[in-house]
Amino acid sequence: MNFVLSYLNFVGFFCLYYLYQIFFFVFMQPLTLYNLCLFYACLWKLLF
């Protein structure tokens, strides 16, 4: 059980870090289709 919780924590932290990087990337550059695809891919990973 502890292993599962720590694994979920790690995945959650990784997704949050990925989201932060994507937000930074999107707002520092023009919004492109590629950026949107990255953003939605990360949202998909977060939700499922």
- Domain boundaries, given as residue ranges, for the chain: 2-47
Residue with tokens 């995945």: 11
Residue with tokens 């950026």: 35
> For 19-35, what is each residue's pLDDT tens digit?
888 777 767 666 567 77
The tokens describing 3, both together, are: 């292993």
Structural contact between residues 22 and 35, judged by C-beta atoms closer than 8 angstroms:
yes
Query: Phi/psi at 34 (nearest 5 deg)?
Result: -65, -45
pLDDT at 31: 58
pLDDT at 1: 65
Quick one: what percent of the chain has pLDDT higher than 90? 0
- Alpha carbon distance 15, 9 (integer Å): 10
Quick one: what percent of the chain has pLDDT higher than 70? 85
DSSP code at position 33:
H
Predicted TM-score (pTM) of the model is 0.40
